[in-house]
Amino acid sequence: MPRRLSVTVERFPLREPFRIARGVKTEAAVVTCEIADEYGRGWAECVPYPRYGEDIESVINQIEGVRPLIERGGSRASLERALAAGAARNALDCALWDLEAKSTGGRVAAIVCGEMPRPVETAYTISLDSAEAMASAARASGRGLLKIKLGTDDDRERIRAIRAAARGARLILDANEGWTAANIKDHLLAAAAAGAVLVEQPLPAGEDGVLRDIPHPVPICADESLHVGEDLDHLVGLYDYVNVKLDKTGGLTEAVRLIREARSRGFGLMVGCMVGSSLAMAPALLIAQHADVVDLDGPLLLAKDRPHPLHYYGSLVSPPDPVLWG
């Protein structure tokens, strides 16, 4: 059955600059794919990520490279064979899921979740800044679960200040590969003293073997070190949790497999996101139903979201309206 594929670039200004150890951004630049046939229209978005060698142009080129496959009716399985995991495949894979739901009148949740999805608690991100500014932002957030962006040579004062400012909150400390073998023990001790529930990707991917030989006073979660299921065996003994993001797995199809395989190896599960709109979060909310920790706050960082957005009630985020996706 012939299809029509359209690809657009959209930009969503952020409420305020968003800083991590690798830099600062003021907008979410996303690539949106729409796949239509005579029965319906499916769509999805992805966020090209420079850390993984992606930009807007390269992602569009990847999508255009498989246009003939998609337009002649290619399946999600054939897409996986044709395109490597990453942002481009994520947009196409999730658009195909949405197209199937819209064309048949079914719900993606029925397949992925096996039950009606429920609201989940999401972390709220505090971007990297001075200790005083981060403590002020943490205090003002009023959230019960905070993800704290770190990754400098010495983050201990930031950790202490945020703990004092947000005494009732659970803290996830995300170093974004910014710590080193020389300072990680001190940072982990500071995390433990602050009662942090998780430390995310403290060391650069490929330089994280030291994690096997040091104590984990706080559970450690792989982010940049994990993309697809084939990465899991290497992470056993290094990490306690893994962070599953659709832009890394190349879509919902691989993410569902990855979650099953991660659980079978004893990993705790986090579901995260890049900074994108509600359209990017919608499919991730389905796999978040099975997660121990959820970080899907991207739309809360935007100045304006899409129509029919996800609904956030404090720290709870509800599953998507099928008008949006799924």
- The residues assigned a catalytic role are 149, 245
Q: Which residue matches tokens 């450690």?
A: 220
The answer to whether the beta carbons of residues 239 and 209 sit under 8 Å apart is: no
**Six-digit token string for 113:** 């979740």
Distance of CA 305 to the CA centre of its chain: 17
* Number of residues that this document lists for the chain: 326
Amino acid letter for position 146: L
Q: Which helix (H) or strand (E) holds 149?
A: strand 145-149
**Measured CA angle at 26 (ends 24, 27), to 5 deg:** 125
Structural contact between residues 141 and 167, judged by C-beta atoms closer than 8 angstroms: no
The phi, psi pair for 316, rounded to 5°, reads -95, 135
Rounded Cα distance, 250 and 221, in Å: 20
